[in-house]
Amino acid sequence: MKRNQKNIDAQIQRFGTYILITNEVNLSKEKILDLYKKKEYVEKFFDTMKNDMDRNRLHVQSAERTEGSIFIIFLSLIITSYMDKILRTSKELKNYIHLRKSFST
């Protein structure tokens, strides 16, 4: 059976096609795509904040306390991300990640 390279190339051209709409006219296509790809990391941080840190809602009465609470959460996310990076890159601690994931589900 002989491959139809023309049909294969046509199908390949349609792989991964999606549309991003933005109101930012001064951004390049590459920058828009880069920002879109970074969205996953932001969503992961919010998921960590809501589920792992149990910070679903801010129970504060003033703007200063809100800013302080968000700052503490931000620092916690930085520390958590750094710890995850160490766990992922450390050969000795690699098994710990699998244990942690199995206990959290």
pLDDT for the residue 102: 57
pLDDT for the residue 101: 57
pLDDT for the residue 2: 82
What residue ranges do the domains of the chain occupy?
Answer: 5-104
Q: Which helix (H) or strand (E) holds 15?
A: none
pLDDT digits (tens, 9 = 90+) for 39-83: 887 788 777 777 776 665 667 788 888 888 888 888 888 888 888
8 or 91: whose pLDDT is higher? 8
- Alpha-carbon span 36 to 34, nearest angstrom: 5
57 or 11: whose pLDDT is higher? 11
- Alpha-carbon span 72 to 69, nearest angstrom: 5
pLDDT digits (tens, 9 = 90+) for 78-104: 888 888 888 778 777 666 656 655 555
- Alpha-carbon span 45 to 77, nearest angstrom: 7
- Its pTM stands at 0.47
- Alpha-carbon span 57 to 13, nearest angstrom: 45
- Alpha-carbon span 48 to 91, nearest angstrom: 24
